[in-house]
Chain A
Amino acid sequence: MAAGRYTVVGGGLAGLMTTIKLAEAGQHVDVLSIVPVKRSHSVCAQGGINGAVNTKGEGDSPDIHVRDTLRGGDFLSEQTSVRGMCNAAPGIIYLLDRMGVPFNRTPEGLLDFRRFGGTLHHRTAFAGATTGQQLLYALDEQVRRFEADGLVTKYEYWEWLGMVKDEAGRCVGSVAMDLRTNEIRTFPAEAVMLATGGPGIVFGRSTNSVINTGTAAGRAFMEGAIYANAEFIQVHPTSIPGQDKLRLMSESVRGEGGRVWVPKKKADTRHPNEIPSAERWYFLEERYPKYGNLVPRDVATREIFDVCRNLGLGIGGKDGVYLDITEQSAKVQDKIKGVLEIYEKFAGEDPRKTPMVIFPGMHYSMGGVYVTFEPGTNQEPAPNSPKNQATNIPGLYASGEAEHAYHGANRLGANSLLSCIYAGIIGGPAMVAYSKNNAQRAGGATTKPFDDARKQWMERFEQIRKMNGSENPYQIGKELGDVMTENVTVIRYNDKLKKTLDVIRTFKERWARCNVLDTSNNANRSLSYVNQLWNMLELGEVITQSALMRDESRGAHYKPDFRLPEPKTKDPTQDPEWMKLWKARHEKWAKTTVAKWTPKGPEITYENISTPVLDPEPRWYA
């Protein structure tokens, strides 16, 4: 088959891995990225990448990794993809090793592994505490090699605006804008991969990078792509509060022995180093003796919230608990040097000597653009199936945080880098297979849909350029973030969710009264932002609406008004009454939330989940 032309949108791990697989198959790839790909948000991942390589004599295996992941996600994950991912994980880590990632080593020179949340095994390969950066660089280097060979063309500082669809509704390309010249053009493609990351900026301040507005996913949703499990938003238990962002403090700090505590005395004014250990409350260790500080993220986040907000035991009576790595040796501290330096730089205290002050921060969206997989043998995605990573729109694919499949109701730490890379590994070949099965090549399509799409976007931006109202778009963005953070993160109440939806609708009205602030035609970022802001409002709406409608508590989605009582036994399966309640709840709600865009707001239905890999069971970590 002759080489085709494909578009990959986004230059993080998922996008670059897709690019490598396409280029390796001899295909030409146009990579569109808002920032130079080497600066993508994947660099922010700190702790590591999971793979059951089992080098510590613990009897770990990919099957246990599957079980931890499905339990961690409270049985909302797409199971075949999780199985495929966990089985591929050791090979993926070896591949990255061959690419030259400077993974930490054991004395024998083998790959070292650390512990992470939601598992009892040492399963996380790491490069200091900047693993995401190191992985992204490795893929960036391989893509640069293909670029030097002429197979890959990068369009950096180009923003994806929307799809080009043919008469049959297939995605045959994209419209994009050069953020330096504001030129708008189309990119014909056999297939398009959206690897555009998560919607963190919809929550204003989060651990996300500033480009993570979710704008591409929001636009794809408006153009007919299904958005699934939108309500599942991970709030990371440990971040450094800040006015511009909530900087992540890696789970690896706890993986390397960091302990979470608060003074037992309310609003204790003593310096933490002067509080004797008998007067400290290590609440995670006390409440979860088996997993201790390494309970999954949703659990740790709720406990920290409870301690600060309900018990009033936060440091100085405010939001914040101690994350303490001071007891560990210099050698151990050195393994997480990268993140300790971030704390020191931004908080101004040396965490090697003084416990850090941290608080939960919005971190990751488990939900995203809905994708499918074709089950093959061994309940894994069938190799080279065009249905893998495919959205409901023919020719449009999604991978990485932009899609919904792998992490269910809660993602385990160090599974995100893995899911990005695995999705690229199966997504690239899926796009080639799709093109092969397609009777008509994209190149053969008429130019009309491209001309129309370009014209439509030129007109839209001309309209935006004329917006001269009284509202500042960045101010609306900030207010959206504030209301989303307040009402749609850790603890959710239906009345507040309803109010949030009303507020988002008023934001939409205010959007129409925006001032574009800048009418020039050179690197006009406001122009781009006004367009993005609308897509952010659409995502805010689907996230909130989905949260409102799911009347249960599962993983990161927690509603105090809809939760099961505490079981009477430590192992809940030993409490038959409780198991009845659990089963009833599970039958009603163990479903994927499926949202379709309408001009009046998202239309939400539920889809049953097939469980070929593992039967759901109650999730408990005590």
Chain B
Amino acid sequence: MDSHDNGSAGRKVTFKIWRQASPDHEGKFETFTVPYYKGANVISSLMEIQRRPVTSDGQKTTPVVWDSNCLEEVCGSCTMNINGTARMACSALVDKLQEPITLEPLSKFPLTRDLAVDRSRMFNALKQVKAWVNLDGTHNLGPAPRQSQAEQAERYVLSTCMTCACCLEACPQVSMDNNFIGAAAISQARLFNMHPTGQMNAADRLRGLMEAGGIQDCGKAQNCVQVCPKEIPLTTSIAAMNRAVTVQVVKNLFTQDEPTKAAGGPA
């Protein structure tokens, strides 16, 4: 269905790829040489290796294990360290990378195998900050309150976060041994606190941000905002949530001992 140019005939690209059968196994690099074509990216090259799992020195090996799905930088699956930087592999074009292209798994998450890691801590963090609108139910209740174009624009960019983990990988405060939730979840708390209905539960989210591993662990290194593939203003979100948390701390001082009355219904 396409008959496009396959580029320079015969040119090859060299990859150095981290191989580790499981967290309990020793890891090592393997080198692969794959055919070059115009527009090739890291994932298309890994697919080439799948079809011919042989290293540069002719040794048969297993296909590399990695996570990927949409291949258009919207699902957040294929994050890995490419030449030492955490980024999405699908949009890492071979033409723009220095060879040998080194692929390593993210270092701040438990390894599954080779380049695949377990990022469940990020999804758990979304529970901690209650990143949702507390819907009454899915029955028909008409539209949400009106929102301005400016509010939509501000929320939309925050909502493009694909939980890819670049921001956590780049953050000096995040490590395998701690539970810092990281910039992504803090920014999601802000997203829902900006929604006209979501803000009714703003205090719950702020409490989540104050729990163990919360916003207080941010060291303000500002690496997160530099590596975000969606250019989400993560440091703006962190600053906004820091202010909101401070206000909440003061509020908590005065309301701590008062039992919360059930809202709305008869006493």
Contacts and interface: CB of A to CB of B under 8 A. Distances in A.
Contacts of A244: 41, 43-44, 47, 71, 90
A107 B4 CA distance: 44
Given A111-B143, A144-B132, A180-B112, A210 B71 contact: yes
B29 interface: no
Contact of B4 (A148, A318, A338): A318
Contact of B40 (A98, A128, A243, A319): A243
Contacts of A147: 127
B21 A520 contact: yes
B263 interface: no
A522 interface: yes
A210 B68 contact: yes
Interface stretch (B158-166, B216-224, B239-247): B158-166
B213 interface: no
Given A244-B41, A475-B51, A100 B160 contact: no
Interface string A434-475: 000000000000000000000000000000000000001011
Given A35-B77, A209-B69, A105 B137 contact: no
A110 B146 contact: yes
B8 to A, nearest CB: 14
A142 B1 contact: no
A338 B140 CA distance: 30
Contact of A127 (B140, B156, B195): B156
Given A475-B51, A522-B113, A148 B143 contact: no
Contact of A39 (B76, B141, B149): B76
Nearest to A342: B72
A94 B65 contact: no
Contacts of A286: none
A489 interface: yes
Interface in A473-500: 474-475, 478, 485-486, 489-490
Interface stretch (A245-253, A531-539, A556-564, A594-602): A245-253
Interface string B14-41: 0000000110000000000000010111
Interface string B39-82: 11101100100111100000000110101111111111100000
Contact of B131 (A41, A144, A248, A526): A144
B63 A38 contact: no
A43 B74 contact: yes
B138 interface: yes
Interface stretch (A56-64, A77-85, A129-137, A221-229): A129-137
Nearest to A21: B138
A248 B73 CA distance: 12
Contacts of B52: 472
Nearest to B163: A38
Which of B76, B113, B132, B146 has the most CB atoms of chain A within a 10 A radius of its CB? B132
Nearest to A235: B1
B63 A517 contact: yes
A44 interface: yes
A20 B132 CA distance: 13
Contacts of A393: none
Given A38-B123, A247-B71, A475-B51, A98 B163 contact: no
Nearest to B113: A523
A614 interface: no
A318 B3 contact: yes
B192 interface: yes
Contacts of A241: 1-2, 4
A104 B154 CA distance: 11
B70 A102 contact: no
Nearest to B116: A523
A346 interface: yes
A99 interface: yes
A525 interface: yes
A247 B163 contact: no
B130 to A, nearest CB: 8
Interface in A202-243: 205, 209-211, 241-243
A489 to B, nearest CB: 7
Given A243-B37, A243-B40, A91 B140 contact: yes
A48 interface: no
Interface string B163-192: 100000000000000000000000000011
Contacts of A565: none
A449 B40 CA distance: 48
B143 A98 contact: yes
Interface of B: 1-4, 21-22, 37, 39-41, 43-44, 47, 50-53, 62-63, 65, 67-77, 90-91, 93, 112-114, 116, 118-120, 123, 126-127, 130-135, 137-138, 140-144, 146-149, 151-152, 155-156, 159-160, 162-163, 191-192, 195, 197-198
14 contacts: A41-B70, A95-B140, A101-B159, A103-B152, A128-B160, A148-B127, A148-B130, A180-B118, A210-B69, A210-B71, A244-B41, A244-B43, A244-B71, A319-B2
Interface of A: 20-21, 24, 35-36, 38-41, 43-44, 91, 94-95, 97-111, 127-128, 130, 133-134, 137, 141-142, 144-145, 147-148, 156, 180, 205, 209-211, 241-248, 318-320, 338, 342, 345-348, 359-362, 425, 472, 474-475, 478, 485-486, 489-490, 517-518, 520, 522-523, 525-526
